[in-house]
Chain A
């Protein structure tokens, strides 16, 4: 374990003190404790980042501090002192009184964290009414003040809006407004920017930073992203499997990590690569330069909903006039924010959806115009790797069946398919015994390996990977990217890698297409796109990447480095 704590319980500079906290899990779980002997201090007016991967116990720690643990699991040892009051063993009603008034919380997914049936104003009002604060009139006024404070446009109108009308970033601002309603001294933020686009993330981080400074709040910020830590943390606690493995100031942990796990985590954070991937120039048999495997020309897709007859039609141009080439054995990255049309493009390419117009030339054959039966023989050549490794495997099928059902349907003999499947499981780094097991027996990273093996079963010439590593922890992410790279070198498969994460894209792509509102706004080699972007939108995206100062500026992070961070963030806010 890590060295002792100096701050004592009576120290008024500590807003929240956790000592030897242990939360026991019910029998039959993977491990006996969700967290064990966790200790840390949140100093007044500071941002403490609790970082760890899934299963590290960081969210359980937050829930325990909020007194929001599910009934089945309980804190069995240790103490939590919140503004000088011990909350372990405190009555439910007393705890409820503290929530929202002394300590507030914001959550990861702003899309589901607001009640869809209540207006924004009513939900902020409720936070105050729950503590019998003010009159309906004064609460209303306060709510509008808060909406103004978190930078929402037209607060008086916003007060009457329902959440579904707001974007993810706006909803997160509403969450923050709600958390601030009673001026609590402590804010717990559980991955508040993880579900947001990179430019929105930069804005929300800036907002939290700004409010924390202005109000002198103490913030416990839970994250899995060292980039975010570099942006906002004053001090850091690193958690692994329910234990605190390292703690210290941000500069200390980021620059001179001591624990091997911290080192691994920091090393796994993807960075923008300075150089481009080296690929031997591809040539065909006659020695001429390879011809593009896939040529996309003027592809257009527009979503229409509602009815033209009743004039309620909504038209959303998803993909507008998109053209590009993909060479065999190369990877094209498609990056952009949510709503940019990148996933629609992926769906068009594997014909999960029909294009309105334009050509998709696969080996010079236009597949966009083919009928479904005519395209069927080509389907094995173009395969997809999906985002969510939990949802993309049928839980009732063994891994073996998931792998072989496709090829067998395409006429491969069962014995041959089984042999291929076992060879591929080996290739993606899984034991061949995985063949007879079920998806629930595997971790997220292992399932994604299965997903890759499944796509490779057809010996495809083109892989379309839609956010294939986005749902994974950073250390797993790095492994999967490595695996994809190795597979590409060994099989020469071309890849279209769709992602919102520019850092990931720069790791694996030979070329990058930046999409915005259905159009490709910039196209080029990663080094050029990321280090001398031409389009304004690309510049915004690049500047919003959290923690890019991690490499060269962390030494200054504790002091002057923050200024540069600040500038970067402000650029993001102007969007």
Chain B
């Protein structure tokens, strides 16, 4: 296990360096550069801009800027935001909880409902339920998240007035209930696509497991059908799903980007779009690295979990 963790650590480090280089280069090559917004400001002279460029070190060659930035990163200094001058780590830290809350609740919804639909679809294959689930998943997969978001706002916020149209809480009301009330719509909207994906994979994994000989063995022992499905079938079907859960994290992050925008949710997704708009490159790079790190950690946790759950990997 120690050897496995060590080699994974090395791989992750290499991966992060590659991600950072690509991100840095893409930002560098973007037209205008970080100070382009000042060019439209009549109060700024050409000299002012040159001075700021000099101050921020933006006139240095790109590789020097990169090395300077990554050296800081390693030491825990992720740079300062161009926008408000506060450290990038602080800016990100302010927005992370909102995103994690949204992602976490969506994941719980998606996994719970998706798993249930998948198992039921497999154990009642070709039933009415199975057909409806299949068609439903196709619809959920082919319609973009923002459209679901807008329909959700129109129906549940504007027409029925059951749920708030956006934001994480009502200003002046910090109660848990208020937070939950605001969380319902965005987390369901974000979960929809993932329910669809998750249920399809779970259905296939369950069908695979159900046709295995050991399921027949369990039935031949006189084990109740309920236990056959829950213990033998689902236990084995969930193994590949753990890996899938790790792989799903980046797509949850991108989903959050759209959902947060539609619901004016103060998380990392909105911060990312806003920072791009303000050409706040240190924050953009920081978010990029943070999501890469999150993805790597999620996959690592998935792999370790599989190894812990599956004795063939754990003990081999």
Contacts and interface: CB of A to CB of B under 8 A. Distances in A.
B173 interface: no
B44 interface: no
B221 A127 contact: yes
Interface string B1-28: 0010001000000000000000000000
Nearest to A184: B222
Interface in A170-199: 175, 178-179
A117 B221 contact: no
B220 A130 contact: no
Contact of A130 (B213, B216, B223, B235): B223
A117 B236 contact: yes
Given A162-B315, A175-B217, A96 B224 contact: yes
B236 A115 contact: yes
B137 to A, nearest CB: 24
B3 A99 contact: no
A134 to B, nearest CB: 15
Interface string A496-536: 00000000000000000000000000000000000000000
B232 A164 contact: no
A164 B316 contact: yes
Nearest to A312: B3
Interface stretch (A105-113, A376-384, A427-435): A105-113
A107 B216 CA distance: 9
A66 B212 contact: no
Interface stretch (B76-84, B158-166, B305-313): B305-313
A107 B213 CA distance: 8
B contacts with A: majority SS: helix
Interface string A392-422: 0000000000000000000000000000000
Interface in B198-218: 212-214, 216-218
Given A99-B220, A99-B221, A130-B227, A164 B312 contact: yes
Interface residues of A, number: 33
Given A96-B224, A164-B316, A126 B212 contact: no
Given A109-B213, A113-B217, A175-B217, A97 B312 contact: no
A101 interface: yes
A61 interface: no
B217 A97 contact: no
B63 interface: no
Given A164-B316, A165-B315, A307-B3, A112 B213 contact: yes
Contact of B311 (A100, A107, A162): A162
Contacts of A92: 225
Given A115-B217, A310-B7, 16 more contacts: A68-B219, A97-B222, A107-B216, A113-B213, A113-B214, A113-B216, A114-B214, A115-B218, A115-B235, A126-B218, A126-B221, A127-B221, A130-B222, A164-B316, A165-B315, A312-B3
Interface of B: 3, 7, 212-214, 216-225, 227, 232, 235-236, 239, 309-312, 315-316
